[in-house]
Amino acid sequence: MLFNSIDFAFFFPLIFFLYWLVAQKLTLRNALILVASYVFYGWWDWRFLFLIIISSAVDFAVGRALDKTHNTSRRKGLLLMSLLVNLGFLMYFKYTNFFIESFVESFRLFGQEIEASTLHIILPVGISFYTFQTLSYTIDIYRKKIRHTNDALSFFAFVAFFPQLVAGPIERASRLLPQFHKTYRFDYTQVKSGLLLMAFGLFKKMVIADRAALYVNEVYGNVGDYDGVAYTIATLLFAFQIYCDFSGYSDIAIGAARTMGFKLMKNFNSPYFSKSLTEFWHRWHISLSTWFRDYVYIPLGGSKKGNLRTYSNLFIVFVVSGLWHGAAWTFVIWGAVHGLGLIIEKVLKEPKWDFLSKLGMRTPSFSNKLFFGSITFVVVNLAWIFFRATSFEDAFTLFEGIFYDFSWNSLFSEATFNIGFTPTAFRALMLMIALLLIAEMVHSRKSLFRRINKQSLIMRWSFYFIIVFTLIIFGVYSADSAQQFIYFQF
Q: Model confidence over 437-468: pLDDT tens digits?
A: 888 887 777 677 777 777 777 777 777 788 88
Q: Model confidence over 249-261: pLDDT tens digits?
A: 999 999 999 999 9
Q: Model confidence over 222-256: pLDDT tens digits?
A: 888 888 888 999 999 999 999 999 999 999 999 99
The count of other CB atoms within 10 Å of the CB of residue 177 is 23
Q: How far is Cα 301 from Cα 244, in angstroms, rounded to an integer? A: 34
pLDDT at 99: 66
Q: Over 50: is that where the pLDDT of 481 sits?
A: no
Domain spans in the chain, listed from the N-terminal domain onward = 6-186, 200-228+238-268+391-490, 269-381
Q: The whole model's pTM is what? A: 0.89
Does the active-site annotation cover 338? no
Which region among 185-189, 268-272, 413-417 has the lowest average model confidence (pLDDT)? 413-417
Q: Over 90: is that where the pLDDT of 5 sits?
A: no
Q: How far is Cα 291 from Cα 26, in angstroms, rounded to an integer? A: 29
SS (H, E, C) the chain: CCCCCHHHHHHHHHHHHHHHHCCCCHHHHHHHHHHHHHHHHHCCCHHHHHHHHHHHHHHHHHHHHHHHCCCHHHHHHHHHHHHHHHHHHHHHHHHHHHHHHHHHHHHHHCCCCCCCCCCCCCCCCCHHHHHHHHHHHHHHHHCCCCCCCCCHHHHHHHHHCCCCCCCCCCCCHHHHHHHHHCCCCCCHHHHHHHHHHHHHHHHHHHHHHHHHHHHHHHHHCCCCCCCHHHHHHHHHHHHHHHHHHHHHHHHHHHHHHHHCCCCCCCCCCCHHHCCCHHHHHHHCCHHHHHHHHHHHHCCCCCCCCCHHHHHHHHHHHHHHHHHHHCCCHHHHHHHHHHHHHHHHHHHHCCCCCCHHHHCCCCCCCHHHHHHHHHHHHHHHHHHHHHHHCCCHHHHHHHHHHHHHCCCHHHHCCHHHHCCCCCHHHHHHHHHHHHHHHHHHHHHHHCCHHHHHHCCCHHHHHHHHHHHHHHHHHHCCCCCHHHHCCHHHHC
Q: Over 90: is that where the pLDDT of 181 sits?
A: yes
Q: Over 60: is that where the pLDDT of 110 sits?
A: no
Average pLDDT, the chain: 85
pLDDT at 119: 53
User: Which pLDDT band, with edges at 50, 70 and 90, does 488 fall under?
Assistant: low
**Residue 16: C-alpha distances to residues 3, 12, 21, 264, 309 (Å):** 14, 6, 9, 17, 50
Q: Which of 148, 285, 325, 338 is catalytic?
A: 325
* % of the chain exceeding 90 in pLDDT: 48
pLDDT at 265: 93
Q: How far is CA 217 from the centre of its chain?
A: 19
What type of residue is 109?
L
Q: How far is Cα 64 from Cα 111, in angstroms, rounded to an integer? A: 53
